Amino acid sequence: MKQKALGCLALLIAVPLLCGGLVFAFSEYQIRRVYDIPAVSLTIPADEASLARGKHLVEVIGGCPECHGYRLQGRPDFLNVPLIGQIPAANLTPHQTGVGSVYTTADWERAIRHGVGHDGRALIGVSSSALQHLSDADVSAIIAYMQIIPPGKREIPPRQLGLLARPFILISLLLPEAENDIMPALVIDHYASQPPAPEPGITVAYGRYLVLLTCVECHKADLGGGSEPGEGMNITTGGNLGHWTETEFIWAIKTGRTPEGNSLNVTYMPQDRLRHLTEDELKAIWLYIQSIPPVVRERAPGQ
């Protein structure tokens, strides 16, 4: 009986250790893995219209300042949690302390659309799950703008992953692609050809393009939302938006107030930047929402 009890105890100790070891080995492999991504030929513009487009993409559609700071000089304390680790947001400027001083056009394209850094390894916590949908022209406009922003001196420490962060790397492989914001490089198809974006305008096609870039990460691929923290509301016509007009939708995005008089959840909703979407962009998004199947999905109380 004693030997059986000791055997059970040994098993109880060995199994977690084995699982922990496998998770650590898998995460370490993914952290050290070097991606060989085919180069894309991009022509970087210099005209004022393209630079203005790049600024709009960076600040409003891409939301880069939300993580990298107002002047894109990075945030050393972006995520600093015991046992999770220290994951800073990079200094993107061309100062010698920023990645802009060493990034080539190819580096920028890989970081933006593939979630892969200058060293060929996966970046953590970047928005490439959404930004992978950017067209060549829009990526080029972003790069053009990033090349003219003022250099800003800010030393950014290297990332340090804690033990509790490693299981999330494994879990990220099990998440739907549109929801993966831990290590997007794991799930992005790095060999898919990128179709050109539709011409900007009040069209369903352009609305879909904007939705992929700005809405899907939180509201899910079907825009039906979810009940977990950080998941957006149902923005199909099967949800509350089914009772709104186009004018009310635009007003809600611009003001942060719904037609019913409720406030949008600013904890998760990036309304501060999305209110700067142009009226034509919001009209295009509205058209796309009207064109897709309604989703009926129950939300938890208080959501």
Amino acid at 3: Q
pLDDT score recorded for residue 166: 76
The answer on pLDDT for 85 being more than 70 is yes
pLDDT score recorded for residue 139: 96
Phi, psi at 102, each rounded to 5°:
-125, -15
pLDDT score recorded for residue 266: 61
The answer on pLDDT for 298 being more than 70 is no
Q: Is the pTM of this model over 0.85?
A: yes
The full DSSP string for 197-256 is PPPSSSSHHHHHHHHHHHTHHHH-TTS---SSTTPPP--STTSGGGG--HHHHHHHHHHS
Which residues does 271 contact at the CB level (< 8 Å), separation at least 6?
253, 256, 264
Residue ranges of domains in the chain, CATH in brackets: 48-186 (1.10.760), 204-291 (1.10.760)
Is the pLDDT higher at 149 or at 159?
149
- The whole-angstrom separation of Cα 129 and Cα 54 is 19
% of the chain with per-residue pLDDT over 90: 49
Is the pLDDT higher at 64 or at 172?
64
The answer on pLDDT for 11 being more than 70 is no
pLDDT bucket at 17, cuts 50 / 70 / 90 = low
- The whole-angstrom separation of Cα 214 and Cα 66 is 13
DSSP 294: P
Length of the chain: 303
Average pLDDT, the chain: 85
